[in-house]
């Protein structure tokens, strides 16, 4: 199919920035311009000829601007098939001019929802005419070029300059595809606004930004990240972030956000292999690394405190892929940048959504995120011995870590330091044995340590094993029909136990 010349254009945009260059190019190519309301005034102020949509429809803008372009004289000119004799005959009969280019910038509905709590204002930002123009022009891509977003202006300008007002079918089809993407995203955002109250149980998500990845979980798998990483982080240095990096970053963020005091954590394959809370970051880092210096190799480091040069010099002694913090001193940045591939991320204030979803079988699993973080008021002492204040602190500390460990999970902790964890095991006893063996292998004395479990103990064997290893306090959800057997064993052996009432499975 031959390239087609743009002879007329309809422009209806909310934001006028960068529009001047486009309309001057259109005028220079002798392209007839129709426009609406404020857009028409903007073009006329530039000294460029334009015609109002009202002159085309013979109807004024009505209902406070709600109806401007919804008219056969507009949509007929867009939707008419240029090679169809019947369509062309009707255009001639009703004196409807063809429209070959449609430029629309929709009302900023999504932005208004974020900035305003006024429903009347939000509803008025639901674009009706604009979205209809986009869909009509995109449907008739065989004949019409549609620009549906300001992000496409550069390509339109280049097209007008290089092709002198002509477009190919490939040009028009590509812009049409992007326009349907834009219109579907717009409608999804509107639906999500209404669905906050209505709770219609259908799955609708729309993310326009994509982040290319070198590959997926393995090199033979393709991978992409859909989302806006720039909203969450400022990347100061390092190589491209990988698929597996993103999974670990996500796990690291979830974990660190449960801590308010200065804390450092090391993440490997979505699980914590080192965590410590201390008065200063340097000590927190050293004690986090002490948990498992072998697994820390190649891991991800995250903290909720500013990274200073002294701490950075200690961190720099091991190989790691990523470090994440709310801020870095200038000296620490210069020091950490010496490794060219090391990724340095500064967290921004962006919060993750309150829900999560993932693909399963031929559908999607959706759930609220596990945002429950236990405090002392949530704990119910069920044994004859009350935990000490130190044990209470350690149990709450351990419980935060086990919440973010793959099930079945057991965490052993002492003095607000992770001693070891057993994660992702098919048996809770196996998870406990793994944690004990690991703690002992790294020289931890478990006498006086605490144990946290992500779910209840079905039998008393776990608390018996833990007690014999030196554990003096246990935190668990409770809920087993045989809870009392575990409670009785603890009470008989001077071990304190508390129930939280909340299970923290993570699969």
- Catalytic residue set: 139, 269
Long-range contacts of range 205-213, CB-CB < 8 Å, 24 or more positions apart? 205/357, 208/181, 208/182, 211/241, 213/240, 213/241, 213/242, 213/243, 213/246
Strand (E) or helix (H) holding 75: helix 72-79
Give the three-state DSSP class for 410.
strand
DSSP letter at 308 equals: P
Alpha helices (H) along 243-308? 243-256, 281-291
Helix and strand tally (H, E) in the chain?
18, 23
CA atoms of 377 and 375, how far apart (whole Å): 5
How many beta carbons lie within 10 A of that of residue 226, not counting itself? 11
DSSP letter at 67 equals: B
Give the three-state DSSP class for 376.
helix
Give the three-state DSSP class for 180.
helix
Relative to beta strand 496-499, strand 380-381 is antiparallel
3-state SS, one letter per residue, for 41-52:
HHHHHCCCCCEE
């Amino acid at each position: 199919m031959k390239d087609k010349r743009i002879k007329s254009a309809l422009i209806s945009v909310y934001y006028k920035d960068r529009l001047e260059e486009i309309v001057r190019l259109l005028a220079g190519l002798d392209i007839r311009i129709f426009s609406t309301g404020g857009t028409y005034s903007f073009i006329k102020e530039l000294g460029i000829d334009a015609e109002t949509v009202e002159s085309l429809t013979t109807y004024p803008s009505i209902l406070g601007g709600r109806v401007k372009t919804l008219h056969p004289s507009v949509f007929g000119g867009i939707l008419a098939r240029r090679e169809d004799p019947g369509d062309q005959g009707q255009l001639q009969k009703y004196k409807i001019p063809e429209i070959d280019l449609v430029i629309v910038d929709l009302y900023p509905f999504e932005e208004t929802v974020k900035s305003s709590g006024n429903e009347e204002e939000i509803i008025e930002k639901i674009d009706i005419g604009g979205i209809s123009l986009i869909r009509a022009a995109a449907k008739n891509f065989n004949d019409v070029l549609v620009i549906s977003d300001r992000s496409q202006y550069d390509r339109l300008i280049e097209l007008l300059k290089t092709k002198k007002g002509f477009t190919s079918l490939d040009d028009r089809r590509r812009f049409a595809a992007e326009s349907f993407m834009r219109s579907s995203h717009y409608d999804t955002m509107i639906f999500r606004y209404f669905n906050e109250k209505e709770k219609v149980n259908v799955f609708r998500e729309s993310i326009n930004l994509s982040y290319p990845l070198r590959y997926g979980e393995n090199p033979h798998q393709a991978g992409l990240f859909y989302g806006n990483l720039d909203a969450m982080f400022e990347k100061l240095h390092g190589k491209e972030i990988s698929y597996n990096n993103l999974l670990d970053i996500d796990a690291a963020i979830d974990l660190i956000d449960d801590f308010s005091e200065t804390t450092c954590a090391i993440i490997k394959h979505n699980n914590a292999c080192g965590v410590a809370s201390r008065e200063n970051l340097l000590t927190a880092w050293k004690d986090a690394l002490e948990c498992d210096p072998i697994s820390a190799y190649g891991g991800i480091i995250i903290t909720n405190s500013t990274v200073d040069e002294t701490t950075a010099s200690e961190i720099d002694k091991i190989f790691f892929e990523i470090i994440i913090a709310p801020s870095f001193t200038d000296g620490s940045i210069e020091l950490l940048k010496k490794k060219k591939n090391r990724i340095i991320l500064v967290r921004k204030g962006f919060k993750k959504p309150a829900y999560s979803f993932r693909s399963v079988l031929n559908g999607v699993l959706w759930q609220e995120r596990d945002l429950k973080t236990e405090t002392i008021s949530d704990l119910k002492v069920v044994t004859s011995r009350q935990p000490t204040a130190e044990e209470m602190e350690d149990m709450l500390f351990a419980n935060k870590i086990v919440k973010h460990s793959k099930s079945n999970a057991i965490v052993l902790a002492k003095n607000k330091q992770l001693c070891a964890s057993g994660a992702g095991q098919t048996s809770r006893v196996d998870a406990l044995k793994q944690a004990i063996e690991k703690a002992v292998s790294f020289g931890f004395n478990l006498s006086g340590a605490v144990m946290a479990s992500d779910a209840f103990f079905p039998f008393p064997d776990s608390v018996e094993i833990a007690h014999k290893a030196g554990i003096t306090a246990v935190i668990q959800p409770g809920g087993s029909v045989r809870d009392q057997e575990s409670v009785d064993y603890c009470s008989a052996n001077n071990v304190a136990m508390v129930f939280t009432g909340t299970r923290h499975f993570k699969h």
